[in-house]
Structure 1
């Protein structure tokens, strides 16, 4: 028998993944017209409409899918994304917890560790005071998410003084640099007995966060003074004096689910290549850092990626730059948390945390947002970032003082 051709619902998702959003939406609408009772059709159409930034319509589709399939986690999670992006956070945080039921999402804590400490997955912290026992907070998402949600650590510590953060070894230098002296573990075997546990990414919901009540980044996120001193010597020896120093990150982790939309080639940043009295400092890691070797422009570019061995090094370099220009990746969060002037380039349908239609973000006061007006159109966003950098009040000849 010949293979069954893909349905309109399937084609909606296939075309969306290819970036052909008009075709995706057309197939999705045809799918739900032919079979209004198909939850998968409404779900796929909602995802395509989200990528087209038709958020109200996307939310409506996911609600329809949930009515048809109440226990399906996908529509609940996509509903959360739409609600959070549009600022409807009370319901959004509740729906966001459905992420744990998505296929392939590992448990927050390995079952063997929970069993060893006498817990079940359902016995997570509910936000109530825990004055005696230990609270284990797990940095469960990417580097940027971990940096973003560390602002909730003092709030959790006020309720649970015995607090331990389970994180990756990459994040340990960042968390250790925070005021408060939080204990960290990077291996489950190091975890102490705990009375309750929670995901770091669940804290905004537990603390009933709204767009107008976001806690500020933690003050005092500073690079290690000795490391800053070493990098100061290194940069002063590499970079021309009196030039504006602009850090660049143009690509995120290739395995990220939305990397095709959020990352771009270094060549797309060409408007920065002709800036006068400016030196470009590549902070790019991963495969994309090789593009720095093919750079050709008037402004000098220095590639530091291979020398950045940890986030501790990146923080030290950020402390000695005038501005940062980056796509939506961990460096944006790190620079924002450190209070560094940062121009963030966002795809047309951004991650929920950047909300809609804003040129700034309540998460990081020193970060400006530069959005694509349509999928794939980076030119306007890049022009806005150039204007943010060249209009900076920080003098190229001055370095911010260490605090």
Structure 2
């Protein structure tokens, strides 16, 4: 029979959102057994969620000293370093993600073995003038959108470049300048000489905060599709109204969705705006909330009509502003240079850095952060002020559900 330890309780309470208790259990665990790497690892994760980043980094370094080959602390260390802007070391530690349990390699071994030439090697970032470079759009949709900016840099070193991506990401890859080849099933993979994960390109190119490539916009909507959506929205939305796109929830399967997503009801200050029409871009189970909406600002729920990201990109070109949580639409709007307010949880994903109201990844995006875990009101009010420019009046009629 296995007893629940303080280290276990640290992680259990963290997942429940009881962060003070989690940290207390974690500190007790390492005090009782300072040689237990798991205790330091769990305490480090709890510190990250409490936004005690330096303490988190210290704990993960201690766990690595005790168990150098354990990928978990390396990956958590990477997140702390990247969040705090120490990108050079952060990218190195970030490569440990491939050793995490359940994470498949960027290219299946069978594909490497049948490539038609000597088994391809991971790309080292050097010129590859005589062979094909395979870039794999790994991780989530937002990651692919964020790191797609590196494709032109890779193509300058390897003119024969091909991208492996999910079907959902084809519109993104095709939107980039250069006309990169892309495929969506491994059976379509051509012979290639080297490969790299798209999320590994920032490290390969030695990206620092001062050298993030940001030629925004680097994505654009298909002109024909944008024209069709313009006709649709012009006939659907009231004239002379500000158009504000909304996304309030990400995919429920995301590991941090409990913290990053909210409900439409939490956006009450926005739904009370006058002379504003809200355009819901929400997909997934949360889009049903739009059907129960009632507020001063009219809302149009486009989620069921958005067949793919090409549709979303077309609609984004027709909006005055976007307010969204940390999900793929935030990256898409940022990459298109659209004015966007992103609502962030207290302990954000590493890419949004610490304490900034803006981001070097997307110059037209502003960040509105929770001042404490679960506190969305201040972030929503900040987004409201950005959208209105502090000039529009809010209706006295409360929003009802």
Equivalent residue in structure 2 for 1:313, among 295, 311, 314: 311
Equivalent residue in structure 2 for 1:292, among 286, 290, 293: 290
Equivalent residue, structure 2, for 1:399? none
Structure 1 residue 39 displacement after superposition: 0.1
Task: Provide Cα deviations, 1:143-187, integer angstroms capped at 9, x if missing partner.
Answer: 111010011111101110000011011100111011111110111
- Counterpart contact for 2:149–2:218, Cα < 8 Å: no
Equivalent residue in structure 2 for 1:349, among 322, 328, 347: 347
- Counterpart contact for 2:19–2:46, Cα < 8 Å: yes
Structure 1 residue 219 displacement after superposition: 3.9
1:182-197 matches, within 5 Å, as 182-197=180-195
How many residue pairs match? The answer is: 390
Distance change >3 Å, CA 273–CA 218, structure 1 → 2: closer
Task: Provide Cα deviations, 1:110-164, integer angstroms capped at 9, x if missing partner.
Answer: 111011115658x200001100100000001111110100111111011100000
Q: Which runs of 5+ in 2 are unaligned?
A: 392-401
Task: Provide Cα deviations, 1:40-82, integer angstroms capped at 9, x if missing partner.
Answer: 0000000000000000000000000000000000000000000
- Counterpart contact for 1:164–1:183, Cα < 8 Å: yes
Distance 2:286 2:296 in 1: 21
1:325-336 matches, within 5 Å, as 325-336=323-334
Any runs of at least 4 consecutive aligned residues in structure 1 with deviations exceeding 6 A, and if so which?
A: none
Root-mean-square deviation (CA, aligned residues, Å) is: 1.2
Distance 1:321 1:345 in 2: 18
Structure 1 residue 338 displacement after superposition: 0.5
Matched, 1:238 2:236: yes
Equivalent residue, structure 1, for 2:264? 266
TM-score by length of 2: 0.96
Equivalent residue, structure 1, for 2:137? 139
- Counterpart contact for 2:216–2:337, Cα < 8 Å: no
Equivalent residue, structure 2, for 1:254? 252
Distance 2:119 2:192 in 1: 12
TM-score by length of 1: 0.95
- Counterpart contact for 2:87–2:208, Cα < 8 Å: yes
Distance change >3 Å, CA 70–CA 187, structure 1 → 2: same
Task: Provide Cα deviations, 1:198-249, integer angstroms capped at 9, x if missing partner.
Answer: 0000000000001111001454521111111111111011111000000000
Q: Secondary structure at the match of 2:380?
A: helix
Equivalent residue in structure 1 for 2:335, among 314, 318, 337: 337
Distance change >3 Å, CA 120–CA 16, structure 1 → 2: farther
Task: Provide Cα deviations, 1:304-336, integer angstroms capped at 9, x if missing partner.
Answer: 000000000000100000000000000000000
Equivalent residue in structure 2 for 1:301, among 299, 319, 331: 299
Q: Which runs of 5+ in 1 are unaligned?
A: 394-403
Task: Provide Cα deviations, 1:331-381, integer angstroms capped at 9, x if missing partner.
Answer: 000000111000000000001000000000000010000000110000111
